[in-house]
Amino acid sequence: MSVPRKFETAIVFLHGFPSHIHGFSSSRYLKVIQKLPYLFCTFDFSHTDTSDGTFEDKLMSKEVDDVKYAIDFLEKNHQFRQLILIGHSTGAIDAALYAHKDTRITKLILTGAVSDLQNAVHYDFADQQVHDFWTKGYIVYDRPGKWMHGKKLKKAFYDEFFTLDIPAAIKKYKKPLLIVHGEKDSIPVSEPQALLTMANKPKKLVIIRGADHSFTQATQFRKLLIVIGKFVEKRFI
């Protein structure tokens, strides 16, 4: 029987929507973290690209459930002292909704996060898409070259935004929380500020000047990594 490898730190990264395991953010984190002595896990949420289930039946509540399965897998196959959960964009929504449920999580990091899903629905869907949800009951993605091109998504995904409660979930989370946001994110800074107000201590919000939603520029991504690195290594800022 093989002996589980031991790590000081395990990191689980949750990608955004409708991204996937090979998306921009996941790939960048993997490129950096694989050089460090951390156990790093990222995965396709259910009903996403290579994962089980069809895209049209996707629900965020199922994504939240997926987080537990990923952590279960890590715990079964490896040993680690602290577990860091990082969620970006819609992955940050999943992380915020899930973190308080799992005592194995040591620290929580949210990037490109929102506080109110009734507003957040407009960050993920354009007005025409909302119109199509209501008139057709679904939307069809038109993104040539992307994995979701031509795929249908049912209105149930949209409807669920109005039933999931981030404020209630984040108020139940009582461990260290770091929120990092780009100054020029399409999601206004008021969203992470509101989230910070709801959260328990210890907590910290860092705004990276000039950064967009995905911290696209290399200098801004490095700043993000520095902030995260200090948080992971216990130097809470």
Q: Which domains does the chain have, with CATH numbers?
A: 7-118+165-232 (3.40.50.1820)
> For the chain, how far is it from start to end, CA to CA, in angstroms?
42
Q: If we measure between CA atoms, which residue out of 172, 177, 176 comes closest to residue 110?
A: 177
The pLDDT of residue 23: 81
Q: What is the DSSP letter of 163?
A: T
Q: What is the largest CA-CA distance in the chain?
A: 56
Tokens standing for 104?
């194995």
Tokens standing for 5?
């490898």
90-98 vs 60-77: helix crossing angle, rounded to 10: 70
- Residues paired with 102 in a beta bridge: none
Each residue's pLDDT expressed in tens, for the chain with a length of 237 residues: 444 568 899 999 999 998 888 888 888 888 888 888 899 999 999 998 888 889 999 999 999 999 999 999 999 999 999 999 999 999 999 999 999 999 999 999 999 999 988 888 889 899 999 999 999 999 999 989 888 899 999 999 999 999 999 999 999 999 999 999 999 999 999 999 999 999 999 999 999 999 999 999 999 999 999 999 999 998 554
Question: pLDDT tens digit string along 174-213?
Answer: 999 999 999 999 999 999 999 999 999 999 999 999 999 9
Alpha-carbon distance of 137 to 100, in angstroms, equals 33
